[in-house]
Structure 1
Amino acid sequence: MSIETPLSFSRLDIRVYYEDTDAGGVMYYANYLKFFERGRTEWLRRLGVDQSTMAEQEKRIFVVKNVEIQYRKPARLDDLIAIHSTITRVGPASVNFRQSALRDTELLCESGIQVCCVDAQSFRPAAFSNQLRTLLEKAKK
């Protein structure tokens, strides 16, 4: 896996393995969501956000609230796909991402995903800390 460095854009390269595919060698559609999750998680990690520490110390976790996804072309066994991620909106307790999966320059899948910050016990919306909100705003394109 490799990651590019600009804060407003993140790229994570992922290889499609046998376990990611169906009997025809085509990547199972739900795996795009797993790969998008990895893209967001690695980007947050690069920004200095440790989700385990956040959950333990601040009692805040991230949950996906909404997903809009469009499948364009199939990824196949052994493809190297790039997961591109950008932040499109930062709210008091949510962040919207635009994510896409590409094979070279060919668009395979794209998605808009809303992630909310919630209290780890009650699962009720919980505002971002000022520090996290500032960090996300800086990363917004």
Structure 2
Amino acid sequence: MAERQSNGAFELPIRVYIEDTDAGGIVFHAKYLHYMERARTEWVRSCGVGLRAGLADNISYVVQRMNIHYSVPARLDDQLLVTAEPVAFGRVWMDFKQRVLRADDRALLCEADVRVACVALDSGRPRRLPENMQALLVNNVQTTE
């Protein structure tokens, strides 16, 4: 079950299945992107914002930029914790710090800085974050002032 941590990060448990791995039982590098996408989506859902309603309003979210570092491989049957922590936002974008941890010892397997942009679904052009998403970010981004 997904939950919020005391530091504000959201954690989503994910099990590694055979479909996630190569012939040696090691998670394929692109699968981490899927895990992180799920964690960001579940973070939004856990805060009461429905993405389906945004689609009806011509709103979509796309990964604009990602910086990723792989430390240790995840393996078949590992139980993972995938975090999503909003760290900054602007008019049309939001930045997340994300980590993939092995659940049993919380070893860091992978981490990424991700920028997600809000776009118009029909044109793909940038658009202002909707008010409900702005409010969510205002309440969840830790300021360092």
Residues 6 and 47 of structure 1, relative CA distance in 2, 3 Å threshold: farther
1:102-113 equivalence runs, <5 A:
102-103=101-102, 104-113=105-114
Q: Is structure 2 residue 101 aligned with structure 1 residue 131?
A: no
Shift in Å, 1:116: 0.4
Shift in Å, 1:6: 5.5
Paired position in structure 2 for 1:3: 2
Q: How many residues align?
A: 139
Give per-residue Cα distances to partners, 1:76-132, cap 9 Å, x unaligned. Answer: 000001001111111111000000001132100000010000011111110012232
Paired position in structure 1 for 2:64: 65
How well do the aligned residues superpose, as a CA RMSD in angstroms? 1.3
TM value normalised by structure 2: 0.91
Q: Is structure 2 residue 7 aligned with structure 1 residue 14?
A: no
Structure 1 residue runs without a partner (length 5+): none
Structure 2 residue runs without a partner (length 5+): none
Identity level (%): 38
Contact 2:5–2:11 (CA<8 Å) still a contact in 1? Answer: no
Q: Give the letter aligned to residue 80 of structure 1.
A: Q
Q: Give the letter aligned to residue 50 of structure 1.
A: G
Q: Aligned partners of 1:83, 1:61: CA distance in 2, in Å? A: 22
TM value normalised by structure 1: 0.94
Q: Aligned partners of 1:44, 1:129: CA distance in 2, in Å? A: 13
Q: Aligned partners of 2:84, 2:132: CA distance in 1, in Å? A: 21
Paired position in structure 1 for 2:48: 48
Q: Give the letter aligned to residue 48 of structure 1.
A: G
